[in-house]
Structure 1
Amino acid sequence: MSPTQPKKAASTKDAKGRKGGSTVNRPATKKAAKVAISTVQVVKKVETSTVTSSTAAKVAPSSNWKSLQTKINPAPRKTKPDVKAKQPRLSGEGVKHNDNTTGTLNGKASKPDGSSETQYDTTQLWFDDVSKGDLEKAYGKSGKKHEYNPTESGKNKVGKYVGIDCEMVGVGPEGVESALARVSIVNYHGVEILDLYVRPQERVTDFRTAVSGITPRHLATAVDFKEAQKRVADVIKDKIVVGHAVYNDFKALLLDHPQRLIRDTSRYKPFRALMKGKTPSLKKLAHSLLGIKIQDGAHSSVEDARVTVMLYKKHKEEWDSSIAVKARRAALKATKGKKTAST
């Protein structure tokens, strides 16, 4: 019996083992099935996505998609650059200005501290209607810098008023005597009417270049004295002549002019009062009454003539009124003298 019992036990164990094996392997089989199913699903998804992507590549996008793409990513415009945008503005509208610079007379910018890149003489404020050619004649091309606007046609006429000035050179022993070497005439607006270098009748012994600005080359092509005298007489005839110590100019020209038609800035009483009764220099009058600096070095007869006209224009009303009063007094005195003589 004992031998058979182990067999039964073995069979029982084997049977149990087969049953147990089947029982133990069943859950593993379910897991394997789930894994297989998930694998199949993944493969299907991959295949589906592959099919979808390949299909999408083959199928053209819809019109809605195209319009949406256009709005999101607009195509760059292929146009020519705007030529007008490169042209400078003609007006000041809409133009930004740099606050670090300030304008000057010639339109150039100056530094904020007040020092400008290009400094100009105050003489450029005198007359705003004198041509560049006139200035070159007056000062030479290497003279002072001035900026003037072109003259108007009406301002080029001689008119009723003229300013005159002359430059002298020394003649005779040691150049003590004076002789005419240049004469300049401007009109009421400061426009040059006449500017002549004159050849003296006597030999020049002192050109006085430091004061007169006259050099031998100026007189090399100068006009004859008689020609200059005639041309000046023709211009000033019946005109009111403004000048400084103008009697010296007429003396050098050997010309006479009616006293009532002369305005001499060296003899006008209000001007003399500024110098405590002394004869004022033109340089001092220009500085005191006009606030400008002249005769800084050699003189210019054109410059001096313009300054005398400026002085006259500034005081013209009072000046002419005082002359009118003098004229009436002289007339009354003459009338009284005639009545007294007749009685």
Structure 2
Amino acid sequence: MGAVQSAPPKTETNQGASQSLALWATDNDISAESIAEAYELGLKDPKTALASEKDKINYGLSEGVTVGKYVAIDCEMVGVGPGGHDSVLARVSIVDFHGKQIYDSYVKAREKVTNWRTAVSGISPKQMRFARDFDEVQKDVAQILDGRILVGHDLKHDLECLALSHPVRDIRDTAKFHNFRKLGNGRKPALRILAQELLGVEIQSGAHSSIEDARVTMLLFRKHKPGFDVDHANRFAPRVNQASTLKGSKVKRK
């Protein structure tokens, strides 16, 4: 006879999780993200969700944050080498399922910066005075990402500049999600376009904010999570081993 799981206590939708609901979730090993998804808790108007008054720029790892199953990341790059055409990491930001800041840091370039790209990146030599070493940031980010679902936009570039890898089955990339491709005219849709068309918010009108961009990708993922889940299930569904169908039968050879 299977185990019987108690039903969740009643709660007011969109009013925040009650204490009894939180305790029930903990007792039944259910994540805060699952509760938020089921009861639509904390999924506010996008314009409100992107508010950044409480962000702590270059703070490093936020204090007292319990990192859940899902995290979203975005990086800003600057140019190195002749003409500044090659990109290196200059800032990395990570937020949780609810868009709360988990990590933010400027990163010292390991070679001479030849193009700060300030108009786009928002990075200038001034910020680099307080930047952390690349190795320190890489270690911190690797620990945060370990064992979690990673959300982002065109994540290949973010992971490359961090010199990190992540399991493909644990990635949710808004640039590759098939339901969004129509907004890119056959190409990868720009995050700015997705934010405008699907969330009704304007971003990247000036210098980019990696925290804001990470929040946008998480909002896009949350709003379209059922589609992402179906896409993931189709891509990684267990395959039937055809050889197993021959077990116990005799195959005659000519």
TM-score range, shorter chain: 0.7 to 0.9
Give distance in 2, aligned partners of 1:123 and 1:318: 19
Task: Specify the SS of the correspondent of 1:223.
Answer: coil
Task: Specify the SS of the correspondent of 1:227.
Answer: helix
Residue in structure 1 matched with residue 242 of structure 2 by the alignment:
336
State percent identity of aligned pairs. 47
Q: Which of 189, 204, 216 matches 1:280?
A: 189
Task: Specify the SS of the correspondent of 1:299.
Answer: coil
Residue in structure 2 matched with residue 297 of structure 1 by the alignment:
206
Q: Which of 71, 84, 89 matches 1:175?
A: 84
Task: Specify the SS of the correspondent of 1:137.
Answer: coil
Q: Is the 8 A contact 1:157 1:187 kept in 2?
A: no
Deviation at 1:221?
1.6
Residue in structure 2 matched with residue 234 of structure 1 by the alignment:
143
Q: How many residues in Structure 1 have an aligned counterpart in Structure 2?
A: 198
Residue in structure 2 matched with residue 87 of structure 1 by the alignment:
none
Q: Is the 8 A contact 1:165 1:301 kept in 2?
A: yes
Deviation at 1:321?
1.7
Superposed, 1:136-147 pairs within 5 Å as 137=57
Q: Structure 1 or 2: larger helix share?
A: 1
Residue in structure 1 matched with residue 222 of structure 2 by the alignment:
313
Residue in structure 1 matched with residue 66 of structure 2 by the alignment:
157
Amino acid at match of 1:281: A
Amino acid at match of 2:242: K
TM value normalised by structure 2: 0.73
For residues 289-334 of structure 1, what are the alpha-carbon distances to aligned partners after superposition, in whole Å with 9 as ceiling and x for unaligned?
0000001100000000000000000000121122112211xx216x
TM value normalised by structure 1: 0.55
Deviation at 1:271?
0.3
Distance 1:338 1:204, change over 3 A: farther
Task: Specify the SS of the correspondent of 1:162.
Answer: strand
Deviation at 1:336?
3.4
For residues 118-163 of structure 1, what are the alpha-carbon distances to aligned partners after superposition, in whole Å with 9 as ceiling and x for unaligned?
xxxx9742257x6x341x528xxxxxxxxxxxxxx8xx42110000
Q: Which has the larger radius of gyration?
A: 1
Deviation at 1:173?
0.7
Task: Specify the SS of the correspondent of 2:212.
Answer: helix
Task: Specify the SS of the correspondent of 1:183.
Answer: strand
Amino acid at match of 1:287: Q
Distance 1:194 1:338, change over 3 A: farther
Task: Specify the SS of the correspondent of 2:71.
Answer: strand
1:244 and 2:153 matched? yes
Q: Which of 129, 136, 140 matches 1:220?
A: 129
Q: Flag structure 1 segments of 5+ consecutive residues without an equivalent.
A: 1-121, 139-152
Q: Flag structure 2 segments of 5+ consecutive residues without an equivalent.
A: 1-44, 59-63
RMSD (CA atoms): 2.2
Task: Specify the SS of the correspondent of 1:199.
Answer: coil
Q: Is the 8 A contact 1:127 1:189 kept in 2?
A: no
Give distance in 1, aligned partners of 2:168 and 2:76: 22
Task: Specify the SS of the correspondent of 1:266.
Answer: coil
Task: Indicate the structure whose relative CO is greater, using CA pairs within 8 Å and at least 6 residues apart.
Answer: 2
Amino acid at match of 1:137: I
Residue in structure 2 matched with residue 43 of structure 1 by the alignment:
none
Distance 1:123 1:213, change over 3 A: farther
Q: Is the 8 A contact 2:57 2:105 kept in 1?
A: no
Deviation at 1:278?
1.4
Residue in structure 2 matched with residue 125 of structure 1 by the alignment:
48
Q: Is the 8 A contact 1:123 1:293 kept in 2?
A: no
In the TM superposition, structure 1's runs of 4+ consecutive aligned residues that sit over 3 Å from their partners are 336-340
